Amino acid sequence: MQREGQIEFCGFEDELTGKQRTAEEIKALYDACPEGNIVMIGYSDLIPNTPFAVNSELPDSFKMAVREALLKVKDDPELVTAFGQWYVDPTEELGLESLDQNFNSLRDIAQLLELDLQELGG
């Protein structure tokens, strides 16, 4: 929206999204932002998006090819524009043993809400 001139946005100079920021950095950004502009007021933990699933019975070579192709989307601006999204694997950045662990927060929420994920999955 900022690039299209629809809003005035106060962002970090490095323009990086998804980069962890300290409370002090966010407060300094907020304090420096002119009245009426949009500014970050907090930073949440990563919120998992809808996963991309591949049947586990398919050959490993196929699963790896799909994974690599999806992770390369972010490197092609035309594909990002066409898809409106891209995929990342936060496993290493978050210190996870597997990508599946990234979805534990959703499982925890389902448990708090007493949802049966097996039942919801059909």
Residue 1, domain member (yes or no):
no
- Per-residue pLDDT band at 19 (split at 50, 70, 90): confident
Structural domain harbouring 67: 60-120
Residue 47, domain member (yes or no):
no
pLDDT surpasses 70 at 17 = no
How many helices (H) and strands (E) are present in the chain, helices listed first? 5, 2
Do residues 65 and 109 both lie within one domain? yes
Do residues 65 and 116 both lie within one domain? yes
- The residue type of 61 is S
Do residues 114 and 69 both lie within one domain? yes
Number of domains in the chain: 2
pLDDT tens for each residue of 25-72: 999 999 999 999 999 888 777 777 777 788 989 999 999 999 999 999
pLDDT surpasses 60 at 122 = no
Residue 54, domain member (yes or no):
no
pLDDT tens for each residue of 77-105: 888 888 878 888 888 888 889 888 888 88
**Whole-angstrom distance, CA of residue 38 vs CA of residue 29:** 11
pLDDT of residue 41: 85
Higher pLDDT, 119 or 59: 59
**Whole-angstrom distance, CA of residue 73 vs CA of residue 88:** 9
Do residues 65 and 100 both lie within one domain? yes
User: What count of other Cβ atoms lies within 10 Å of the Cβ of residue 101?
Assistant: 14
Residue 94, domain member (yes or no):
yes
- Per-residue pLDDT band at 18 (split at 50, 70, 90): low
Number of residues that make up the chain? 122
Do residues 113 and 64 both lie within one domain? yes
Instruction: Check: CB of residue 31 under 8 Å from CB of residue 23.
Output: no
